[in-house]
């Protein structure tokens, strides 16, 4: 549910330069044309103290919490870092890249018109106030608080502010098969769509189970009395929220990296350009053609997915999935986002990739 933003250009590059060096062999410091399969540190310095509010501290955090981390990095020029890449982890809003991919395919094949106007009221049927970190009102404010929006504007809210209601609108309109087909096109073979609204309702109401989340979401949309009652229920305490977050929609770092790379390279096929336009809404980093990005967070869960496109046509991808984060660590990371800088650094500089490999 976190706002999708990263610190790019001079800030990210300064972080790369400022990383404390970690000894590594020739593979880790190879030139961009190296065919080395992975960063292979052989002389690692002691890891920094874990601290999720700083880039070096994140290296220490990953070293201390490897069991709850999934990492898949491929810089596209020969360096790979994989740590539990196939283990399933909660995805939070990073999963919305699949909704985007399904929309992009539908737009490219004429099954949906990106310029179609829809009433904001239709979008807001799927909105649960207080459940998305104010993503929905911020999206409406950016769009000028309209009474209607285009489908493409709704999708931009899903990607930029990470609006949950937009994801559920698209799931309802496009259908499960559109999402599973889009995921499969991007190399994600076992994707199973879930309702963001239904999951949040389950967080509020213990009588809702994973198996009937979709029914609860549809009831919320269709029954005003039920909607009013569920909107009035408070969220549980933070410990209960952390436990709930660990049971939400899951996937692997490798799954997310596959669909991100497919979109970035164009191998996704029709719609890749539509998806890239939405993923690349932020300024790029000097020397790159574009940066695509989606992040997510739930209590105790932090997820980030990047790709970079270079002028020579090479593509790098980096995905980090974290779960079961201590509340203080999670809160600090959400406020400052240093893990995003670390992922960019690993894609841009071999020495940064070497130091990250030291941690995992």
Phi then psi dihedrals of residue 296, to 5 deg: -165, 160
The pTM is what? Answer: 0.90
CA distance 66 to 101: 30
For residue range 81-127, list pLDDT tens digits in order.
999 999 999 999 999 999 999 999 999 999 999 999 999 999 999 99
CA distance 52 to 62: 9
For residue range 131-182, list pLDDT tens digits in order.
999 999 999 999 999 999 999 999 999 999 999 999 999 999 999 999 999 9
pLDDT for position 278:
98
Tokens at 314, concatenated = 């090479």
Q: Distance of CA 297 to CAs 20, 116, 302, 330, Å?
A: 28, 30, 5, 9
CA distance 171 to 106: 12
Extract the residue ranges of the chain whose pLDDT is less than 70.
1-42
pLDDT for position 78:
94
The domain locations on the chain are 9-91+250-359, 93-245
Tokens at 251, concatenated = 């996937």
Q: Distance of CA 210 to CAs 175, 205, 246, 307, Å?
A: 19, 12, 12, 32
């Amino acid at each position: 549910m976190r706002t999708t933003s990263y610190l790019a250009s001079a800030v990210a590059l300064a972080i790369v330069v400022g990383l404390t060096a970690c000894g590594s062999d020739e593979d880790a410091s190879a030139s961009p044309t190296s065919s080395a399969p992975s960063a292979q540190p052989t002389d690692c310095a002691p890891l920094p103290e874990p601290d999720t509010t700083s880039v070096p501290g994140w290296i220490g955090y990953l070293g201390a919490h490897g069991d709850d981390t999934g990492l898949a990095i491929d810089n596209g020029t020969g360096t790979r870092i994989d740590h539990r890449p196939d283990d399933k982890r909660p995805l939070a809003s990073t999963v919305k890249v699949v909704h985007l991919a399904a929309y992009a395919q539908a737009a490219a094949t004429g099954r949906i018109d990106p310029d179609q106007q829809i009433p904001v009221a239709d979008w807001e049927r799927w909105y649960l106030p207080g459940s998305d970190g104010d993503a929905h009102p911020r999206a409406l404010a950016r769009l000028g608080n309209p009474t209607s929006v285009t489908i493409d504007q709704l999708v931009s809210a899903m990607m930029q502010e990470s609006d949950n209601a937009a994801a559920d609108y698209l799931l309802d309109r496009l259908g499960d098969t559109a999402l599973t087909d889009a995921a499969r096109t991007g190399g994600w073979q076992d994707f199973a769509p879930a309702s963001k609204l239904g999951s949040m309702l389950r967080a509020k109401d213990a009588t809702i189970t994973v198996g009937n989340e979709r029914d609860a979401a549809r009831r919320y949309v269709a029954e005003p009395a039920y909607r009013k009652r569920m909107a009035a229920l408070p969220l549980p305490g933070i410990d209960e929220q952390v436990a709930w977050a660990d049971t939400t929609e899951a996937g692997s770092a490798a799954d997310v990296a596959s669909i991100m790379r497919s979109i970035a390279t164009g191998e996704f096929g029709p719609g890749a350009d539509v998806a890239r336009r939405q993923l690349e809404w932020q300024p790029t980093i000097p020397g790159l053609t574009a940066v695509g990005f989606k992040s997510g967070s739930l209590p105790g869960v932090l997820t980030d997915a990047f790709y970079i496109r270079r002028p020579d046509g090479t593509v790098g991808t980096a995905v980090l999935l974290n779960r079961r984060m201590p509340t203080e660590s999670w809160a600090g990371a959400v406020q400052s986002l240093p893990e995003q800088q670390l992922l960019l650094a690993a894609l841009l500089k071999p020495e940064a990739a070497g130091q990250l490999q030291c941690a995992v």
